[in-house]
């Protein structure tokens, strides 16, 4: 980093009084973790977006009483928050039995392990009081632990609550002790409760025990997961290290306490912030160095080399360098250089580097004082994946190869973990003192529900593979396609040929589909956003059915502007294609086919159907997304079927501040959906099934207590005599269990349509797992369905099969998908609005799948 420009963009020196580089244990890690599974990988990797905004006005310490104190993603374990929510007991038809029966049984291996406990096992919870009161938690713990009564006994004490596996003789026990300072202290220990193993506190307690055990196996805790840093997978070409690890938990499953372990990976970067900056400096236009540097780094989580702590970069102070002095807590002044030399024996090599500024988390009941720490770039490692990296297809591909493990590798890692737990003496001791027995891996029986036939206009096809029936339907007519007469193609000057060839291909593929494509008006425009919008503005009129744009480059703003204009100002369905995509040899026909089908949907057509035995059933999908620009806003996507065949959809999207409850806008959406249904069917649906996706950790209670009643009352409001039968199902794309099936002597993903509704489910819920998507790489993540409200009274079998049927109806993909189609549509809608439009799309488009 020789001769690097020393930029002093901001002259002010910052006050460092509050600097605090304490030495307590690394505690809070909140950066993205790559989950190994197909589906969760994509969402987790984008986690960087969730890092709270940069704090403004970092100024001097202590100036901002209460200004923008950031809540760092205090994720709590969802399974804890959801303990104690009992929805099944209210559902009479599944109180005794919630399992289905149809389909072929299939033997499945799981990632669950039995945990044995003696009969009549109880955990004894005591409340501990010290007189005189000791402020220091550490002192309280030390005093209690050193008491002879508790030596060699299984105990957990947090300073107030004491857990024992054996009951003390007395309900109230008085002990005495003496601190090192010679203060005589009385310890009063009072029994509060005897907890059975299934109680929520106990479950939480078991989780703590297992965390302790994994630590004993020299695994390293980051966030909630445990990793083995000693067996890293290196991807040097991207400067990445992957640590293999596990997400573990203990939960009460259907009839047993079980331990689950899921393979995960932690992505770490072999790059210090200083190296990153130097790299950026050499790469980018130097005049914009500061700007790009801040853009890339602010919000990143860094790991300091010397004390294992993580910090978020909130600012970069270009005016401070390592040779500058700061004030230590004891009031003495020292330069950064000397400080690191003295404290950690580290000699900084670059004396001109700027300082990273991080706002420290305020501890508990703080006065709201903002404390900041200055960090030396040379000593900070970048963690997680930057936005630039996640958008790099090559990096993601290399990452996927390492992280998407197939069932065989997964099983190997699981058995190794189980082995380690059973063999390690310390781990075994920990288990034994509490009376826990680590049992064998759980096998169970699932069912493969019958496959579905795909109904086309004049034929019924039984696809070879439910994962992809594009071949099977090649010569079949689509269910219903409007004629495309009046439409525009807008393309750049240089892409006229591409547009022409696309047009001829479109016509060729659309004819056998039964989709008639008329001659469009082809408009050539300058290759810039403004010119495109102008061209569209000039030529679009109320009769235009579709605008197809051939975009010269992959510029987000051009796409966004077109989508915005055509869904807000002048609502017309639109289709965008990249010119580059059309230039690829040999793929034109398949691209044209895909575009043709999308266009049919966007015009309000139907592609295919499956048999739906229930008449007058409306299915609804709800998803909640975020606005990429306006933080603090959530986007509610609501998609409801508007015919009995479930081929036509009514879509609404509502933006609202995160504070207000999602249920509030459901009323509006529901009303619109019912009206639409009435218009097409001249009656109201007798059954409504709502699939609710996008449920965050710990939100289940709100949905049960608030959202469901709101939804029901909104139905009643629409017509007093109208009372449809309603079911509400919470859909979760990520869940703890994994299932493998043994086939031809190796482990594989279970077949499509596998349902698991026993053992790995929860006793207090009407729930099941369904595997409805094929994983080409890695292990499939089952989708978890929890029926929280149901007066439809469908048999579990029917509920499961209906759900499976709905996974066939996503028109953007001729095959099964992992969630019911209405949820995927709702997701797609919120995605488009959150990424490009940022406002509620025109209601005129509500009848079309314009967002595909």
Partner 1 sequence: MVDSHVRGVQVKENIKFTPSLSEQRHKFVLDFVRKHKPQKVADLGCANCKLLWRLKYHESIEVLAGLDIDENILTRNIYRLHTGAGDYLDPRERPLTITLYHGSVVEKDPCLLGFDLITCIELIEHLEAKELSQFPEVIFGFFSPTTVIISTPNSEFNPLFSGKTLFRHPDHKFEWDRTQFQSWALDAARHYGYSVEFTGLGEPPPGAEAVGFCTQIGVFVKTIPNTVKSLHDEKTIECAHTTVGTVIYPSLKEEKYLRKAVSNEVFSQILKMKRVLLESLKMKNDNDNSDELEFVKPKCDESKNDPTEEIPKPFCIENVFYVPLERLFSFPKIKHLCGDLETLKMLIANEVMLSSDGSSVMINTVDEEDCDLSDNDGDDLRFV
Among positions 252, 353, 575, 643, the unique one binding partner 1 when judged by CB under 8 A: 575
Q: Which residues pair with 725 in a beta bridge?
A: 687
Range 554-573, binding partner 1 (CB under 8 A): 554, 559
Q: Which residues pair with 768 in a beta bridge?
A: 785
Cis peptide before 735 (omega within 30 of 0): no
Range 824-843, binding partner 1 (CB under 8 A): 828
Measured over the CA atoms of residue 37, residue 42, residue 47 and residue 50, the dihedral's sign is negative
**Alpha-carbon span 389 to 201, nearest angstrom:** 41
> Closest CB to partner 1 among 108 and 380?
380
**Alpha-carbon span 828 to 838, nearest angstrom:** 14
312 in contact with partner 1 (CB under 8 A) = no
141 in contact with partner 1 (CB under 8 A) = yes
Helix (H) or strand (E) holding 429: helix 425-433
Determine the distance from the C-alpha atom of residue 502 to the mean position of all C-alpha atoms in its chain, rounded to a whole number: 37
Burial 266-292, CB ≥16 within 10 A → b, else e: bbbbebbbbbbbbeeeeeeeeeebbeb
Among positions 60, 292, 308, 319, the unique one binding partner 1 when judged by CB under 8 A: 308
3-state helix, strand, coil in the chain (%, to 5): 30, 25, 40
Rounded to 10 degrees, the C-alpha dihedral 658/661/667/672 comes to 20
595 in contact with partner 1 (CB under 8 A) = yes
Q: Which stretch binds partner 1 (CB under 8 A): 160-168, 276-284, 721-729, 737-745?
A: 276-284
Long-range contacts of the stretch 131-135 (C-beta < 8 A, 24+): 131/185, 131/186, 131/188, 132/183, 132/185, 134/179, 134/185
Burial 30-62, CB ≥16 within 10 A → b, else e: bbbbbbbbbbbbeebbebbeebeebbeebebbe
Q: Which residues pair with 623 in a beta bridge?
A: 637
Determine the distance from the C-alpha atom of residue 349 to the mean position of all C-alpha atoms in its chain, rounded to a whole number: 40
Among positions 11, 74, 132, 236, the unique one binding partner 1 when judged by CB under 8 A: 236
528 in contact with partner 1 (CB under 8 A) = no
Among positions 485, 718, 812, 842, the unique one binding partner 1 when judged by CB under 8 A: 812
Cα(first)–Cα(last) distance of the chain, in Å? 48
> Closest CB to partner 1 among 100 and 637?
637
Q: Which stretch binds partner 1 (CB under 8 A): 8-16, 400-408, 579-587, 636-644?
A: 579-587
Task: Give me the least distance between CB of 233 and partner 1, in Å please.
Answer: 10
Range 376-395, binding partner 1 (CB under 8 A): 381, 393-394
Task: Give me the least distance between CB of 169 and partner 1, in Å please.
Answer: 24
Burial 219-257, CB ≥16 within 10 A → b, else e: bbbbbbbbbbeeebeebeebbbbbbbbbbbbbbbbbebb
> Closest CB to partner 1 among 86 and 329?
329
339 in contact with partner 1 (CB under 8 A) = no
142 in contact with partner 1 (CB under 8 A) = yes
> Closest CB to partner 1 among 316 and 562?
562
Task: Give me the least distance between CB of 339 and partner 1, in Å please.
Answer: 12
> Closest CB to partner 1 among 69 and 209?
209
Among positions 409, 531, 591, 630, the unique one binding partner 1 when judged by CB under 8 A: 591
Task: Please check whether residue 336 is in contact with residue 290, taking contact to mean a CB–CB distance below 8 angstroms.
Answer: no
> Closest CB to partner 1 among 74 and 182?
182
Q: Which residue has the tokens 């069912």?
A: 447
Half-sphere exposure of 157 (CA within 13 A, CB side): 24
Among positions 282, 422, 526, 719, the unique one binding partner 1 when judged by CB under 8 A: 282
> Closest CB to partner 1 among 102 and 179?
179
> Closest CB to partner 1 among 179 and 198?
179
551 in contact with partner 1 (CB under 8 A) = yes
Task: Give me the least distance between CB of 287 and partner 1, in Å please.
Answer: 16
Q: How far is CA 23 from CA 270, 307, 358, 365, in A?
A: 23, 7, 17, 21
SS3 691: strand
Q: Which stretch binds partner 1 (CB under 8 A): 76-84, 121-129, 647-655, 811-819?
A: 811-819
Determine the distance from the C-alpha atom of residue 534 to the mean position of all C-alpha atoms in its chain, rounded to a whole number: 39
577 in contact with partner 1 (CB under 8 A) = yes
> Closest CB to partner 1 among 54 and 305?
305
Helix (H) or strand (E) holding 34: strand 34-35
Task: Give me the least distance between CB of 664 and partner 1, in Å please.
Answer: 30
Task: Give me the least distance between CB of 1 and partner 1, in Å please.
Answer: 9
H helices then E strands: how many in the chain?
21, 37
131 in contact with partner 1 (CB under 8 A) = no
**Alpha-carbon span 431 to 257, nearest angstrom:** 14
Q: Which stretch binds partner 1 (CB under 8 A): 52-60, 339-347, 417-425, 709-717?
A: 339-347
Residue 176's Cβ-count burial label (10 Å; 0-12, 13-18, 19+) is exposed
Contact pattern from residue 646 through residue 685 relative to partner 1, giving x for each residue in contact according to CB under 8 A and a dash for the rest: ----------------------------------------
Among positions 319, 386, 581, 734, the unique one binding partner 1 when judged by CB under 8 A: 581
313 in contact with partner 1 (CB under 8 A) = no
Residue 277 sits at the vertex; the CA angle it makes with 271 and 279, to the nearest 5 degrees, is 80
Task: Please check whether residue 799 is in contact with residue 99, taking contact to mean a CB–CB distance below 8 angstroms.
Answer: no
> Closest CB to partner 1 among 287 and 332?
332
Among positions 306, 678, 680, 722, the unique one binding partner 1 when judged by CB under 8 A: 306
529 in contact with partner 1 (CB under 8 A) = no
> Closest CB to partner 1 among 107 and 288?
288
Task: Give me the least distance between CB of 332 and partner 1, in Å please.
Answer: 6
Contact pattern from residue 15 through residue 54 relative to partner 1, giving x for each residue in contact according to CB under 8 A and a dash for the rest: --------x-xx----------------------------
> Closest CB to partner 1 among 328 and 477?
328
Residue 348's Cβ-count burial label (10 Å; 0-12, 13-18, 19+) is buried
Q: How many residues bind partner 1 (CB under 8 A)?
A: 73
Range 171-230, binding partner 1 (CB under 8 A): 179-182, 220, 222, 229-230
Q: Which stretch binds partner 1 (CB under 8 A): 117-125, 306-314, 433-441, 619-627?
A: 306-314
Task: Please check whether residue 366 is in contact with residue 291, taking contact to mean a CB–CB distance below 8 angstroms.
Answer: no
């Amino acid at each position: 980093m020789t001769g690097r420009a020393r930029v002093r963009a901001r002259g002010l020196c910052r006050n460092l009084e509050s600097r605090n580089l304490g030495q307590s244990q690394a505690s809070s890690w909140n950066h993205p973790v790559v989950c190994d599974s197909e589906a969760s990988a994509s969402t987790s990797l984008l986690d960087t977006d969730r890092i709270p905004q940069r704090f403004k006005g970092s100024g001097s310490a202590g100036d901002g009483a209460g200004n923008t104190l950031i809540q760092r993603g205090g994720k709590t374990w969802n399974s804890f928050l959801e303990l104690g929510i009992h929805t099944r007991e209210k559902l009479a038809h599944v109180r005794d039995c919630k399992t289905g029966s149809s389909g072929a049984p299939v033997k499945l291996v799981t990632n669950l392990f039995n945990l044995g406990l003696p009969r009549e096992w109880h955990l004894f919870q005591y409340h501990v009081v010290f007189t005189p009161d000791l402020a220091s938690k550490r002192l309280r713990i030390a005093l209690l632990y050193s008491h002879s009564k508790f030596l060699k006994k299984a105990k957990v004490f947090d300073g107030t609550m004491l857990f024992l596996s054996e009951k003390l003789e007395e309900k109230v026990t008085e002990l005495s002790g003496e601190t090192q300072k010679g203060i005589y202290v009385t310890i009063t220990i009072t029994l509060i409760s005897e907890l059975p193993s299934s109680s929520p506190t106990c479950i939480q307690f078991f989780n703590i025990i297992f965390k302790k055990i994994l630590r004993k196996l020299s695994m390293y805790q980051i966030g909630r997961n445990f990793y083995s840093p000693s067996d890293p997978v290196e991807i040097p070409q991207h400067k990445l290290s992957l640590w293999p690890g596990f997400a573990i938990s203990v939960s009460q499953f259907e009839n047993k306490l079980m331990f689950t372990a899921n393979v995960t990976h932690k992505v770490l970067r072999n790059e210090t912030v200083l190296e990153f900056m130097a790299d950026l400096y050499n790469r980018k236009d130097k005049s914009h160095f500061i700007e790009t540097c801040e853009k890339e780094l602010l919000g990143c989580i860094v790991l300091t080399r010397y004390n294992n702590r993580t910090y978020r970069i909130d600012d970069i102070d270009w005016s401070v360098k390592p040779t500058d002095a700061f004030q230590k807590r004891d009031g003495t002044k020292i330069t950064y250089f000397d400080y690191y030399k003295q404290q950690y024996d580290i000699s900084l090599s670059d004396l001109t580097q700027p300082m990273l500024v991080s706002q420290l988390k305020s501890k508990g009941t703080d006065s709201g004082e903002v404390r900041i720490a200055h960090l030396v770039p040379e000593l900070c490692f970048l963690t997680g994946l930057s936005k630039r990296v996640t958008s790099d297809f090559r990096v993601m591909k290399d990452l996927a190869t390492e992280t998407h493990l197939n069932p065989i590798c997964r099983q190997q890692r699981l058995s190794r973990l189980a082995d380690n737990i059973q063999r390690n003496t310390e781990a075994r001791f920990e288990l034994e003192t509490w009376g826990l027995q680590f049992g064998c891996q759980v096998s169970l029986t699932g069912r493969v529900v019958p496959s579905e036939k795909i109904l086309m206009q004049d034929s019924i096809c039984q696809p070879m593979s439910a994962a992809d029936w594009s071949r099977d339907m090649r010569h079949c007519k689509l269910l219903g396609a409007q004629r495309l007469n009046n439409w525009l193609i807008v393309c750049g000057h240089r892409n006229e040929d591409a547009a022409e060839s696309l047009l001829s291909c479109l016509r060729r593929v659309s004819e056998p589909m039964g989709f008639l494509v008329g001659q469009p008006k082809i408009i050539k425009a300058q290759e810039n956003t403004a010119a495109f919008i102008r061209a569209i503005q000039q030529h679009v009129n109320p009769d235009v059915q579709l605008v197809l744009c051939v975009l010269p480059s992959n510029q987000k703003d051009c796409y966004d502007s077109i989508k915005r204009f055509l869904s807000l100002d002048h609502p017309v369905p639109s289709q965008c294609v990249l010119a580059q995509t059309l230039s690829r040899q040999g793929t034109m026909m398949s691209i044209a086919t895909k575009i043709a089908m999308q266009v049919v949907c966007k015009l309000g057509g139907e592609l295919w159907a499956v048999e739906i035995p229930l008449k007058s059933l409306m299915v609804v999908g709800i998803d909640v997304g975020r606005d990429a620009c306006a933080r603090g806003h959530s986007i509610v996507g609501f998609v409801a079927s508007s015919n009995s065949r479930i081929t036509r959809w009514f879509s609404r999207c509502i933006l609202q501040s995160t504070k207000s409850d999602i249920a509030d806008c459901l009323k509006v959406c529901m009303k619109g959906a019912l009206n639409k249904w009435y218009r097409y069917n001249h009656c109201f649906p007798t059954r409504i099934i709502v699939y609710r996706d996008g449920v965050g950790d710990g939100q289940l209670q709100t949905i049960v207590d608030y959202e469901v009643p709101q939804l029901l009352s909104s139905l009643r409001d629409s017509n007093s005599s109208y009372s449809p039968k309603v079911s509400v199902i919470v859909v979760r794309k990520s869940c703890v269990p994994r299932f493998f099936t043994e086939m031809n002597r190796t482990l594989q993903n279970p077949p499509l349509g596998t349902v698991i509704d026993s053992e790995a489910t929860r006793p207090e819920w009407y729930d099941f797992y369904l595997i409805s998507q094929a994983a080409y790489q890695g292990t499939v993540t089952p989708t978890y369905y929890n029926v929280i409200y149901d007066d439809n009274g469908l048999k579990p079998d029917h509920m499961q099969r209906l759900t499976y049927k709905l996974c066939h109806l996503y028109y953007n993909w001729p095959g099964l998908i992992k969630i019911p189609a209405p949820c995927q549509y709702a997701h797609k809608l919120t995605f488009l609005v959150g990424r490009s439009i940022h406002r509620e799309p025109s209601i005129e488009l509500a009848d079309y799948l314009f967002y595909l």
